[in-house]
């Protein structure tokens, strides 16, 4: 009975270790087949968080004082030099009110959505 328990423990420990090591590895970044698919994925990512309120500075031709606007925490932008859709996120809390103008808020890149460009998908001649 003791031998059986030892064999069972010795055979399952490496499997548990392999499972623990595999969960620490980052998932490989996938590439979408087209710009439309990458943009659709980014739009789904964008909708995972809500909105916040910020200021738009006064523009003398349009308004004489700053206005408050409501905008999304996340947005999607296309990189014109590379085949990427860039997902940017404002570093604010959802449903918050910021007294800073929108252009002064920090906007880190949170996610990129690469896609295959038509030139890279075609074979070289």
How many domains are there within the chain? 1
- Closest of 67, 68, 73 to residue 93, by C-alpha: 73
Residue 58 lies in a domain: yes
Show the domain range for 82: 31-118
Match 């064999």 to its residue by tokens: 7
Give the pLDDT confidence score for residue 86 in this predicted structure. Answer: 95
Give the pLDDT confidence score for residue 125 in this predicted structure. Answer: 35
Residues of the chain scoring pLDDT < 50: 25-28, 121-125
pTM for the complete prediction?
0.61
Residue 65 lies in a domain: yes
Residue 14 lies in a domain: no
Confirm if 59 and 72 have CB atoms less than 8 A apart. Answer: no
Residue 7 lies in a domain: no
Give the pLDDT confidence score for residue 101 in this predicted structure. Answer: 82
Residue 102 lies in a domain: yes
Name, in order, each residue with C-beta under 8 angstroms of 58's C-beta and a sequence gap of 6 or more. 64, 65, 66, 67
Residue 91 lies in a domain: yes
Give the pLDDT confidence score for residue 94 in this predicted structure. Answer: 86
Give the pLDDT confidence score for residue 15 in this predicted structure. Answer: 65
- Closest of 51, 50, 32 to residue 42, by C-alpha: 32
Give the pLDDT confidence score for residue 102 in this predicted structure. Answer: 83
């Amino acid at each position: 009975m003791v031998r059986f328990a030892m064999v069972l423990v010795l055979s399952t420990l490496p499997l548990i270790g392999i499972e623990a090591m595999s969960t620490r590895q980052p998932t490989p970044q996938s590439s979408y087949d087209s710009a439309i698919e990458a943009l659709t994925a980014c739009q789904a990512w964008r909708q995972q968080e809500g909105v916040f309120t910020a200021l738009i500075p006064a523009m003398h031709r349009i308004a004489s004082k700053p206005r408050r606007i409501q905008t999304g925490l996340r947005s999607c932008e296309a990189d014109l030099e590379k085949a990427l859709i860039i997902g940017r996120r404002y570093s604010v809390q959802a449903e918050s009110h910021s007294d800073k103008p929108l252009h002064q808020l920090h906007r880190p890149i949170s996610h990129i959505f690469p896609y295959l460009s038509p030139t890279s998908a075609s074979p070289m001649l």
